[in-house]
């Protein structure tokens, strides 16, 4: 068997050595199995190479061996190219961001664990039994029985009893409303009082009965029930408001101020508490303290005639007659049948020594309400500053005559 020649070994693209088989050219005269030198019998002294050897040498000349490829740099470029294309690589800034996020998560979970641990410690401290105190065994048994949790059966029984109480209260309220609609107030009161004997702590029953007491003008009974409701539920706005209204009618202004300020803590823009405070300060003679609440009322409701009239009265008491006159005129535009506003406007003109405007205002009041109505006003000391003027004297003389009763047009009814 022929062995490969050393020059026939070369490298391929993957740098793996391969062996190329040599092609051996055999001459026709070469016998099978004769691999040695062929003897030339015709020229025995001549040592020329045999035909097979000459063929191999010529083939080597025509086919020189290929030089081995330098695969070192090619391999480095290939690896560098694959390294650029690798998708699992991450830029350095992204690595920093991911590291910071990981640190934040670790800190969050650590803080959460510390908080939960402190909460468990606090709960354990609250549930720890108190220090032993020298006492009888009976007291200890009572304490243990009170601290024992209620069974589901006991909770279900309590809920069922609550539902039955609510149903009885609703039936009583419905019957009382039916009696009240039929003007049978006494039957409604009797129904609610019997229901309260069975359910003394039911707030809706107390509220309904207190409202009926208020309609019947049983102020003390109504105020007592409203007070009981507030003791059970301090934030019951309707009970506070109705109790303050009753106390304002009884001229208990200090109590009204306390209840009204209490209501303003939860609702600063409620008109009724502001109105009660303003009325209480006006009744106590603290006009300057009433002004902020009167202004707030006129801002909250521009069509509130009572608030505008009260604000004008407050300005007139403080001597600010110019603003008082402006507000009184606005009130008359909204309600031209307000007799008190006519009187107050005429007084403001009299205090400004404007007799013509005062007489014109009184004449308009006479046209609206009659001469007898105005005759009583002219005797008031509020008109003393203009009593000696000719316009006011002429008005006094006319309203005092019998002919004034037969006409509704007073002298000077047209503003001068």
What are the tens digits of pLDDT across the range 221-261?
999 999 999 888 888 888 988 999 999 998 999 999 999 99
Confidence of residue 315 (pLDDT cuts 50, 70, 90): very high
Whether 131 is covered by a domain: the verdict is no
Look at residue 110 and tell me whether its pLDDT is greater than 60: yes
Whether 165 is covered by a domain: the verdict is no
Whether 314 is covered by a domain: the verdict is no
CA distance 166 to 306: 42
Task: List the one residue out of 206, 125, 144 whose CA is nearest residue 169.
Answer: 206
Whether 41 is covered by a domain: the verdict is no
Task: List the one residue out of 255, 287, 290, 286 whose CA is nearest residue 275.
Answer: 290
Look at residue 16 and tell me whether its pLDDT is greater than 70: no
Confidence of residue 177 (pLDDT cuts 50, 70, 90): confident
Phi, psi dihedrals of residue 202, rounded to the nearest 5°: -80, 120
Average pLDDT over every residue of 111-126: 72
Average pLDDT over every residue of 256-269: 88
Look at residue 182 and tell me whether its pLDDT is greater than 90: no
> Which uninterrupted H or E stretch holds 311?
helix 305-317
Q: What angle do CA 55, 58, 64 make, to 5 degrees?
A: 130
Q: Which of 3-12, 104-113, 215-224: highest mean pLDDT?
A: 215-224
CA distance 392 to 388: 7
Q: Tokens in use for 243?
A: 């109790």
Helix-strand-coil split of the chain, %, nearest 5 = 70, 0, 30
Strands 17-19 and 9-11 come out as antiparallel
CA distance 368 to 207: 43
- At residue 152, the pLDDT reads 63
Q: Which residue has the higher pLDDT, 296 or 110?
A: 296
Residue identified by tokens 């006006």 is: 282
Q: Which residue has the higher pLDDT, 261 or 48?
A: 261
- At residue 37, the pLDDT reads 45
Confidence of residue 38 (pLDDT cuts 50, 70, 90): very low
Q: Which residue has the higher pLDDT, 123 or 258?
A: 258
| DSSP code at position 331 | H
Confidence of residue 131 (pLDDT cuts 50, 70, 90): very low
CA distance 160 to 162: 5
> Which uninterrupted H or E stretch holds 214?
helix 203-215
Confidence of residue 324 (pLDDT cuts 50, 70, 90): very high
Alpha helices (H) in 128-151, listed in sequence order: 137-147
Count of the separate structural domains present in the chain: 1
Confidence of residue 291 (pLDDT cuts 50, 70, 90): very high
| Under 8 Å between Cβ of 310 and 278 | yes
Whether 386 is covered by a domain: the verdict is yes
Give the tens place of pLDDT for each residue, 340-384. 999 999 999 999 999 999 999 998 888 888 888 888 888 889 999
Confidence of residue 128 (pLDDT cuts 50, 70, 90): very low
Average pLDDT over every residue of 68-76: 53
Quote the domain boundaries for residue 399: 336-416
Whether 362 is covered by a domain: the verdict is yes
- At residue 416, the pLDDT reads 27
Sign of CA dihedral 374, 378, 383, 387: positive
Average pLDDT over every residue of 386-401: 84
Q: What angle do CA 278, 282, 285 make, to 5 degrees?
A: 140
Q: Tokens in use for 297?
A: 């009322």
CA distance 398 to 410: 8
| Under 8 Å between Cβ of 301 and 279 | no
Nearest 10 degrees: CA dihedral of 359, 364, 365, 366?
90
Confidence of residue 35 (pLDDT cuts 50, 70, 90): very low
Spell out the residues 6+ positions from residue 277 whose beta carbon is closer than 8 angstroms to its own.
256, 257, 260, 261, 264, 290, 293
- At residue 3, the pLDDT reads 54
- Reduce the DSSP state of residue 9 to 3 states and report it: strand
Average pLDDT, the chain: 75
Confidence of residue 52 (pLDDT cuts 50, 70, 90): low
- At residue 137, the pLDDT reads 43
Spell out the residues 6+ positions from residue 346 whose beta carbon is closer than 8 angstroms to its own.
358, 361, 362, 365, 377, 383
Give the tens place of pLDDT for each residue, 137-152. 444 444 434 444 556 6
Whether 264 is covered by a domain: the verdict is no
- At residue 49, the pLDDT reads 54
| DSSP code at position 189 | H
Spell out the residues 6+ positions from residue 294 whose beta carbon is closer than 8 angstroms to its own.
278, 307, 310, 311, 314
Average pLDDT over every residue of 291-316: 90
Sign of CA dihedral 362, 364, 369, 371: positive
- At residue 277, the pLDDT reads 93
Average pLDDT over every residue of 380-398: 88
Confidence of residue 65 (pLDDT cuts 50, 70, 90): low
Phi, psi dihedrals of residue 11, rounded to the nearest 5°: -110, 145
Whether 86 is covered by a domain: the verdict is no
Q: Which of 23-27, 59-63, 194-198, 328-332: highest mean pLDDT?
A: 328-332
- At residue 47, the pLDDT reads 54
Please write down the long-range contacts of 251-256, taking CB distance under 8 Å and 24 or more positions apart: 251/283, 253/280, 253/283, 253/284, 256/280
């Amino acid at each position: 068997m022929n062995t490969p020649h050393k020059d026939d070994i070369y490298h391929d693209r993957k740098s793996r050595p391969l062996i190329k088989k040599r092609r051996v050219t055999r001459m026709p005269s070469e016998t099978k199995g004769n691999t040695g030198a062929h003897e030339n019998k015709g020229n025995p002294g001549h040592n020329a190479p045999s035909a097979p050897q000459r063929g191999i040498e010529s083939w080597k000349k025509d086919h020189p061996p290929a030089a081995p490829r330098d695969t070192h740099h090619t391999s480095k470029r290939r690896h560098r190219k694959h390294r650029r294309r690798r998708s699992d690589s991450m830029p350095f800034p992204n690595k920093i961001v991911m590291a910071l996020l990981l640190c934040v998560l670790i800190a969050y979970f650590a803080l959460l664990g510390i908080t939960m641990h402190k909460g468990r410690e606090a709960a354990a401290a609250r549930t720890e039994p108190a220090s032993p105190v020298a006492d009888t065994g009976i007291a200890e048994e009572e304490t243990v029985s009170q601290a024992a949790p209620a069974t589901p059966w006991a909770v279900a029984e309590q809920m069922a009893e609550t539902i039955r109480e609510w149903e009885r209260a609703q039936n009583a309220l419905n019957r009382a409303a039916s009696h009240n609609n039929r003007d049978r107030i006494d039957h409604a009161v009797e129904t609610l009082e019997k229901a309260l004997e069975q359910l003394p702590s039911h707030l809706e029953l107390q509220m309904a009965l207190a409202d009926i007491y208020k309609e019947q003008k049983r102020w003390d009974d109504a105020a007592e029930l409203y007070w009981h409701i507030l003791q059970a539920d301090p934030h019951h706005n309707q009970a506070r408001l109705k109790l303050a209204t009753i106390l304002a009618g009884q001229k208990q202004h200090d109590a009204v101020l306390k209840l009204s300020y209490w209501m303003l803590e939860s609702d600063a823009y409620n008109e009724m508490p502001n109105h009660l405070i303003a009325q209480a300060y006006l009744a106590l003679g603290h006009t300057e303290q009433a002004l902020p609440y009167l202004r707030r009322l006129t801002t909250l409701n521009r069509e509130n005639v009572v608030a505008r009239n009260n604000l004008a009265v407050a300005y007139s008491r403080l001597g600010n007659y110019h603003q008082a006159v402006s507000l009184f005129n606005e009130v008359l535009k909204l309600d031209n049948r307000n007799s008190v506003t006519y009187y107050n406007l005429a007084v403001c003109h009299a205090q400004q020594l404007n007799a013509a405007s005062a007489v014109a205002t009184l004449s308009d009041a006479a046209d609206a309400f009659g001469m007898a109505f105005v005759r009583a006003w002219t005797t008031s000391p509020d008109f003393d500053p203009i009593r000696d003027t000719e316009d006011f004297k002429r008005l006094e003389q006319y309203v005092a005559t019998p002919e004034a009763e037969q006409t509704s047009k007073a002298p000077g009814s047209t503003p001068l």
